[in-house]
Amino acid sequence: MKDHRVGNLRFGMAIDIDRCTGCGACMMACAVENNTSVPPPEAGDRRGLTWIRVYRVDNGKPYPENRTVYFPVACQHCDHKTPCVPVCPQNAVDIDPQNGIVSTIPERCLGCRYCMAACPYHARYFNWWDPVWPKGMERSFNPDVSPRMRGVVEKCNFCHGRWQAARAQAAAEGRRDFREGDFVPACVEACPVGAMTFGNLLDPGSEIYRLIHGPRAFRLLERIGTQTKVYYLSDHAWVRALGDKLPEGGAHG
């Protein structure tokens, strides 16, 4: 496969599982930032819209050996053989060669859900219902993110609206480079315990570079070779071993 990468910018994230308390602030901040609609109660836990979703996982042993951790799982932004890209008949899934962000173009999506079937991380969500909010609540929408319509697939895009704003700001300052802290996704900003780190995976001077090259780092389903840009960190071998197991819940839809 032709290498699509251009330049020395690859956005990625490191999530410290040992620090995550499972509070859910990342999920809430994500939903508010991206104007994610609230599906009706019958949506259950399979047909909702959760660009980032926190899984509770334990080692299955009784007390006192029992250990539980929380896994925030969003789109892993696969950098190699990105499974959702080639299956889309509409060219609605795109990987930005400049920074590696995998994004979906809802206006092109016709709702076939091939990308959902292809995603090994269950990180894509289908709009089963019209996006409906309580009356008047559209006044409190984020003006930088369009709400999506029924019948299209959506997912995490590392808060693309924030990236656009940061890029405009950098341009206004006459800069062409990305500096650490220029922008972070809403989930990273929201984490109250600082378990999430965002930055340029290729910058040897960045914090994320240091974290992902340490012994605590691992990725989900590393064996399938998708070279995801979301890394996880843990001191515990049993947690790192979870990286090669599929999350509970099965496929969507």
Partner 1 sequence: MDRQVTRRGFLALLGGGAVGTVFSPLPWKLLDDAAIWTQNWSWLPRLPRGEVRTHASHCTLCPAGCGISVRTVGGEPFGISPIPGHPLSGGALCPLGFAAHHMAYHPCRLTDPIRRVRERGPLAHVPIAMSEAISEARAWIGAAGGKGAVAVLDARPERVISTLYRWLLEPLGGVYVAAPGGEASFDALDEMLIDPPGPVGLDLAAARTCLSFGAPLLDGWGSPGALPGDVHIIQIETRPSRTALHAGRWLRLHPGTEATLALGIAHVILAEGWANEPLLRERGADFATYRQLALDLTPARTAELTGIGEGEIRAAARRFAQEGPSLALAGTDPGGGPLPREAQLAVWGLNLLVGSFGPPGGIVRRRAPAAPRRRLGDLPDRSIQLLLLDPSVTEAAFPWSLVARKLAGDQAKVISLSPYDAGMALRADLVLPAPAPMETRDEVTAPATAPADALALSRPLRRPPKGVLPVGEMLRQLAGEAAGFDYEALLREKVAAIEASARGSVYEPATGESTPLSGDLTSALEEGACWVDERPAAWPLPEFRLLGGGADARERMRRAVFERPNDAGLVLMPWGWRGAAGAGALPQVAAKLYRESHLRGEADSARIHPETGRSAGLRDGGRARLGTPAGFREVVVAFDAAVLPGVIHVATGPANSSFGDVEPVLGGLVDLCRIDESGSWRLTPVTVGEA
- Pick out residues in 216-245 that bind partner 1 (CB under 8 A): none
- Distance, CA of 47 to CA of 26 (rounded, Å): 19
Structure tokens at 39: 């599906």
Task: Indicate the pairing of strand 153-154 with strand 125-126.
Answer: antiparallel
Q: Find the part of the chain contacting partner 1 (CB under 8 A) among 44-52, 173-181, 202-210, 211-219.
A: 44-52
Helix (H) or strand (E) holding 79: none
Binding map of partner 1 across residues 143-172, x = CB under 8 A, - = no contact: x-xxx-xxxx--------------------
Residues ≥6 apart with Cβ < 8 Å to 37: 49, 127, 129, 131, 132, 133, 147, 148
With CB under 8 A as the rule, give the number of residues binding partner 1.
68
- Distance, CA of 209 to CA of 218 (rounded, Å): 13
CB-based contact 243:232 (threshold 8 Å): yes
Structure tokens at 19: 């620090």
- Pick out residues in 70-99 that bind partner 1 (CB under 8 A): 70, 89-90
Angle at 154 between CA 93 and CA 28, to 5 degrees: 140
Residue closer to partner 1 (CB basis): 22 or 83: 22
Residue 54: Cβ within 10 Å count: 18
Q: Does 137 bind partner 1 (CB under 8 A)?
A: yes
Residue closer to partner 1 (CB basis): 33 or 96: 33
Query: What does the buried/exposed string (b/e) look like for 178-199 if buried means 16 or more CB atoms within 10 Å of the residue's CB?
Result: bebebbbbbbbbbbeeebbbbb
Q: Does 120 bind partner 1 (CB under 8 A)?
A: no
Q: Does 66 bind partner 1 (CB under 8 A)?
A: yes
- Distance, CA of 126 to CA of 37 (rounded, Å): 12
Which of 87, 117, 128, 142 binds partner 1 (CB under 8 A)? It is 142
Q: Does 141 bind partner 1 (CB under 8 A)?
A: yes
Q: Does 250 bind partner 1 (CB under 8 A)?
A: no
Q: Find the part of the chain contacting partner 1 (CB under 8 A) among 47-55, 95-103, 198-206, 228-236.
A: 47-55
| Closest separation in Å from C-beta 110 to partner 1 | 4
List phi, psi (to 5°) of 57.
-130, 135
Task: Indicate the pairing of strand 196-200 with strand 11-16.
Answer: antiparallel
| Closest separation in Å from C-beta 93 to partner 1 | 15
| Closest separation in Å from C-beta 57 to partner 1 | 8
Name the site residues for partner 1 (rule: CB under 8 A).
Answer: 21-25, 27-29, 31-33, 36, 38, 40-41, 43-45, 48-50, 53-56, 58, 60-64, 66-70, 89-90, 107-111, 130-131, 133-143, 145-147, 149-152, 189-190, 192-193, 248
